[in-house]
């Protein structure tokens, strides 16, 4: 399962780079972002990358002419939106303070997964280093279980954030099982609902701003760099330990990119192949 994660993240890096890093400037942002993320493998590093990439994009890219957009069909008042954004900020700041008083148990888990869900920009794969830094060093989940669960999550329908349910259920401390899985799942999704609901009243103005579009181009390139860094650490360094691991990763990548196999089929096929290799090795 861990080897499958290498292929899946590599495919995501390749696909995003082709779409979002289309010139030398964007490729440069991607490369620098990856280097910073590897040197600062924490939430602060990711936030710094996103902020710096947005600033560089705003300064370096010529803003496109603003285009007219249809207004979103959803209606949320500015007061409600502001309240949701304030609630998000309050939880992001307050939960770690509360968790410091209760370092073990549900409060600490909610704080960790809420923070991971809050600081991710650019897709589920980018959450890997954040989640790993929250649960692996503390011993809540060992690294092999972490990557094996990530690989298995690729075979499941739905967004990758549901991986949080696996982590919550697999924890070595209470709450775990179905209760831990539900708590962690709700905690990692909560920031998305608060941010989306809070941003809706202001979204039309933001997406029509040419400078914001230029900044977003830089941020998108930076996110590819974050994903490239995640491909190396924690995915590659934990999964590729011998030539057979690399060989299986190559086959998985070819199956995903060129044979167009769905992720679940690659997971099942490599799982069966790995089991067969293990049996032959014992024999």
How far is 162 from 127, CA to CA, in rounded Å?
11
pLDDT of residue 42: 77
Report which of residues 128 and 22 the model is more confident about. 22
51-55, 83-87, 243-247, 270-274: lowest mean pLDDT where?
270-274
How far is 43 from 199, CA to CA, in rounded Å?
22
Which range has highest mean pLDDT (61-65, 84-88, 268-272)? Answer: 84-88
pLDDT tier for residue 283 given thresholds of 50, 70 and 90: low
CB 234, CB 41: distance < 8 Å:
no
CB 104, CB 180: distance < 8 Å:
no
Asked if pLDDT for residue 236 goes beyond 80, the answer is: yes
How far is 193 from 198, CA to CA, in rounded Å?
8
How far is 215 from 2, CA to CA, in rounded Å?
35
* 100-123: burial string, b at 16+ Cβ within 10 Å, e else: eeeeeebbbbbbbbbbbbbbbbbb
Question: How far lies 72's CA from each of 86, 124, 203, 208, 278, in Å?
Answer: 22, 25, 8, 13, 54
How far is 115 from 65, CA to CA, in rounded Å?
35
Report which of residues 283 and 269 the model is more confident about. 269
Long-range contacts of 46-50 (CB under 8 A, 24+ apart): 46/119, 46/120, 46/121, 46/126, 46/129, 46/130, 46/226, 47/119, 49/222, 49/225, 49/226, 50/121, 50/219, 50/222, 50/223, 50/226
What is the mean predicted confidence (pLDDT) over 122-135?
78
CB 28, CB 228: distance < 8 Å:
no
CB 49, CB 227: distance < 8 Å:
no
Question: How far lies 115's CA from each of 132, 144, 151, in Å?
Answer: 13, 23, 23
9-23, 53-67, 188-202, 229-243: lowest mean pLDDT where?
53-67
Mean pLDDT, the chain, rounded, equals 87
- CA dihedral (171, 7, 53, 50) in degrees, to 10, reads -10
How far is 30 from 13, CA to CA, in rounded Å?
11
pLDDT of residue 202: 87
79-83, 173-177, 208-212, 253-257: lowest mean pLDDT where?
208-212
112-116, 208-212, 230-234: lowest mean pLDDT where?
208-212
Residue 4 CA from chain centroid, whole number = 16
């Amino acid at each position: 399962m861990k080897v499958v994660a290498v292929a899946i993240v590599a495919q995501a890096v390749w696909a995003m780079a082709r779409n979002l890093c289309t010139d030398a400037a964007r490729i440069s942002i991607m490369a620098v972002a990856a280097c910073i993320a590897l040197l600062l493998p924490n939430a602060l590093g990711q936030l710094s990358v996103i902020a710096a990439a947005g600033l560089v994009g705003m300064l370096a890219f010529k803003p496109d002419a603003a285009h007219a957009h249809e207004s979103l069909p959803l209606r949320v008042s500015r007061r409600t939106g502001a309240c949701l954004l304030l609630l998000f900020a309050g939880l992001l700041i307050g939960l770690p303070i509360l968790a410091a008083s209760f370092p073990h148990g549900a409060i600490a888990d909610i704080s960790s997964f809420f923070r991971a869900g809050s600081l991710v920009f650019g897709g589920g794969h980018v959450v890997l280093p954040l989640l790993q830094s929250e649960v692996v060093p503390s011993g809540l989940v060992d690294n092999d279980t972490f990557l094996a669960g990530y690989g298995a999550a690729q075979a499941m329908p739905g967004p990758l954030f549901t991986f949080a349910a696996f982590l919550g259920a697999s924890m070595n401390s209470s709450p775990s099982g179905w209760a831990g899985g539900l708590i962690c799942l709700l905690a990692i999704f909560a920031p998305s609902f608060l941010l989306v609901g809070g941003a809706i009243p202001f979204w039309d103005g933001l997406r029509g701003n040419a400078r914001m579009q230029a900044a977003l181009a830089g941020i998108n390139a930076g996110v590819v760099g974050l994903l490239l860094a995640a491909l190396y650490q924690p995915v590659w360094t934990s999964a590729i330990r011998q030539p057979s691991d690399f060989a299986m990763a190559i086959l998985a990548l070819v199956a995903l990119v060129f044979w167009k196999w769905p992720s679940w089929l690659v997971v099942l096929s490599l799982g069966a192949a790995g089991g067969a290799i293990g049996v032959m090795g014992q024999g």
